[in-house]
Amino acid sequence: MAGIEIQAVARNVRMTARKVRLVGAAVKGKPLGVAMSMLRFMPQRASTPILKAVKSAAANAENNFDLDPNNLVVVRVIADEGRTLRRFRPKARGRAGSLHKRSSHITVVVSEKEA
């Protein structure tokens, strides 16, 4: 089963993709246990949804493909832009300024370690 990649996707996470990519780059290439402990203690807000997606990918690997979670490595963390909610904030002299509340889709890909 070497070379098989298992993924998990978290959609419409209310966070910009740019901030999620910074945290995702930190755990890319790490073993699963190390990545999960890193994410648990990171101060960034984006670490929580990425941790949930990593746990989901590990569960997918264990339940669907009978792989041992101790032998898994985080191959990729992809953060794509989701939909943007457009809101307005009142400004001076009766004007309205636009606010963009961005979201992202997080994809975590795990695979077995090379022997």
Q: Tell me, what's the pLDDT at 113?
A: 86
Which tokens belong to 111? 């695979």
Q: Count how many domains the chain has.
A: 1
pTM of the entire structure?
0.91
Separation CA 63–CA 29 (nearest Å) = 22
Q: DSSP state, 114?
A: P
What is the C-alpha separation between 36 and 33, in angstroms, rounded? 5
Cβ–Cβ < 8 Å for 113, 57: no
Structure tokens of 14?
């209310």
* Domain span holding position 62: 5-112
pLDDT for position 81: 97
pLDDT tens for the 115 residues of the chain, in order: 567 999 999 999 999 999 999 999 999 999 999 999 999 999 999 999 999 999 999 999 999 999 999 999 999 999 999 999 999 999 999 999 999 999 999 999 999 987 6
CATH of residue 32: 3.90.470.10
CA 92/CA 98 separation, integer angstroms: 13
pLDDT for 2: 60
pLDDT of amino acid 106? 98
pLDDT of residue 115: 61
**11 in Cβ contact with 82 (< 8 Å):** yes
The tokens describing 72, both together, are 């898994």
Q: What are phi and psi of 66, to 5 degrees?
A: 55, 45
Q: What is the pLDDT of residue 3?
A: 78
Report pLDDT for 114: 77
- Tell me which residue of 73, 54, 40 sits closest to 7, measured CA to CA: 54
